[in-house]
């Protein structure tokens, strides 16, 4: 990579934006100049990058023709509005917000080749953390398994709602342990010592907007013909890290040892020993790898594979995947 780009990070003061800037530095991303942007609330704050403090500037005033690549790690509405504005100014966009509808979801391990037919400026999306983790783990298994259906239960961290989610769980836990009455904020009820059966908006059909999004992203990224994906997204009292219970229906009897070998060979995946299991705290959080375990064929169905994935929702699920999309662009396309 001999090129070097002018880059913008939008939402640079959020949990994901912060991780993004850190990863650009850690991975020696070819940054010629870095513009850290946010809403007026956060403008003026400082973000550390390569030993300097960069001043956060206000997004509304920014001229996107100054940069070649922009990461959108703020809210959906920001992604929709300013993502389109950046693209119109000739800037390639990697959207983490879900707002930029025309953007193509990319998980480099799974569908890097889909960029080949496109032209700059690119409009790409890093899928939801849950879809990213699932697609990255299933990608190396697609050919061997003959995937027919994925049934996913995601047990998500409160940081899925950003820094506010983290504060709210800490506040609720402290209140309860001090036997003070609890008035839930942010979440619609107590999340401490509870499991919420849904997060965010819900459709008339009963599916959460997030569940439909995860299902759509997984299908689009994996591109397995006729694949069905069933999704339940719940939230547990966990600060960081998503846990995914996955049940796969396959074309024929599953060879668990062969699956384990495929996963063990895959960069970015850490397969834990049979008998042990991975968790978010202690394994996945703070790591670039997706932790996979509990591989087992069906109890009643040899054409079934069950597994468990522990993933850092902020890092691998969001920021790292976005940076990896950026690396792919730089290497081949920009």
- Partners of 243 in beta bridges: 155, 310
CB of 259 to a copy of itself, least distance (A): 11
Give me the least distance between CB of 227 and a copy of itself, in Å please. Answer: 8
Q: Helix, strand or coil for residue 262?
A: helix
The least distance separating a copy of itself from the CB of residue 153, rounded to whole angstroms, comes to 4
- Nearer of residues 193 and 333 to a copy of itself, judged by Cβ: 193
CA dist., res. 243 & res. 235, Å (int): 10
Q: Are strands 147-156 and 242-250 parallel, antiparallel or unpaired?
A: antiparallel
Copy the structure tokens of residue 243. 């846990």
CB closer to a copy of itself out of 23 and 238: 238
Taking CB under 8 A as the criterion, the residue among 49, 209, 296, 328 binding a copy of itself is 296
**Minimum CB–partner distance for residue 304 and a copy of itself (Å):** 6
CB of 241 to a copy of itself, least distance (A): 8
Does residue 252 touch a copy of itself according to CB under 8 A?
Answer: no
Q: How far apart are CA 210 and CA 202, in angstroms?
A: 8
Least distance to a copy of itself, CB of residue 307, Å: 9
* 256 in Cβ contact with 123 (< 8 Å): no
**Where does this chain touch a copy of itself (CB under 8 A) — which range of 5-13, 105-113, 114-122, 289-297?**
289-297
For a copy of itself, the closer CB: 231 or 329: 231
Which positions from 165 through 224 interact with a copy of itself, judged by CB under 8 A?
A: 169-170, 173-174, 177, 189-190, 193-198, 202, 205-207, 211-212, 215, 219
- Considering only residues 117-136, where is the footprint of a copy of itself by CB under 8 A? none
Q: How far apart are CA 177 and CA 315, in angstroms?
A: 30
Site string for a copy of itself, 256-285 (x = CB under 8 A): x-----------------xx-xxxxxx---
240-255 b/e (C-beta count within 10 Å ≥ 16 → b): bbbbbebbbbbeeebe
Cβ(96)–Cβ(71) under 8 Å? yes
**C-alpha separations of 101 from 77, 80, 123, 124, 130 in Å:** 11, 7, 9, 10, 18
Q: What are the DSSP E strand ranges found in the chain?
A: 5-10, 31-38, 46-49, 52-55, 57-58, 69-72, 92-95, 104-105, 123-125, 147-156, 228-235, 242-250, 269-271, 290-297, 304-311
Least Å distance between CB 186 and a copy of itself?
15
Residue 234 phi, psi dihedral angles, 5° rounding:
-115, 170
Instruction: Catalog residues that contact a copy of itself under the rule CB under 8 A.
Output: 149, 151, 153, 155, 169-170, 173-174, 177, 189-190, 193-198, 202, 205-207, 211-212, 215, 219, 227-232, 234, 236-239, 241, 243, 245, 247, 256, 274-275, 277-282, 293-301, 304, 306, 308, 310
């Amino acid at each position: 990579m001999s090129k070097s780009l002018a880059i913008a990070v939008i939402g640079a003061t959020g949990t994901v934006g912060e991780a993004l800037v850190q990863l650009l530095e850690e991975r020696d991303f070819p940054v010629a100049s870095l513009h850290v942007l946010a809403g007026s609330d956060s403008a003026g704050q400082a973000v550390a990058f390569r030993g300097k403090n960069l001043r956060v500037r206000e997004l509304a005033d920014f001229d996107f023709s100054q940069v070649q690549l922009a990461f959108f790690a703020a809210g959906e509405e920001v992604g929709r509005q300013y993502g389109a504005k950046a693209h119109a100014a000739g800037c390639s966009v990697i959207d983490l917000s879900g707002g930029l509808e025309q953007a193509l979801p990319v998980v480099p391990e799974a569908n890097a080749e889909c960029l080949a037919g496109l032209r700059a400026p690119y409009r790409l999306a890093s899928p939801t953390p849950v879809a990213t983790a699932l697609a990255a783990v299933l990608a190396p298994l697609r050919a061997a398994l003959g995937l027919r259906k994925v049934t996913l239960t995601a047990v998500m961290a409160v940081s899925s709602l950003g820094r506010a989610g983290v504060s709210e769980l800490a506040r609720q836990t402290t209140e309860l342990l001090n036997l003070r009455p609890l008035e839930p904020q942010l979440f619609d009820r107590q999340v401490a010592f509870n499991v919420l059966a849904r997060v965010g908006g819900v459709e008339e059909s009963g599916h959460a907007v997030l569940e439909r999004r995860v299902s759509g992203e997984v299908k689009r990224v994996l591109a397995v013909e006729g694949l069905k994906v069933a999704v339940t997204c719940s939230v547990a009292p966990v600060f960081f890290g998503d846990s995914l219970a996955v049940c796969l229906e396959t074309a024929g009897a599953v060879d668990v040892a062969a699956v384990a070998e495929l996963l063990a060979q895959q960069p970015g995946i850490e397969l834990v020993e049979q008998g042990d299991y991975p968790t978010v705290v202690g394994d996945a959080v703070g790591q670039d790898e997706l932790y996979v375990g509990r591989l087992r064929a069906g109890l009643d169905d040899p054409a079934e594979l069950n597994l468990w994935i522990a993933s850092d929702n902020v890092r691998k699920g969001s920021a790292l995947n976005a940076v990896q999309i950026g690396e792919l662009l730089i290497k081949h396309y920009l």
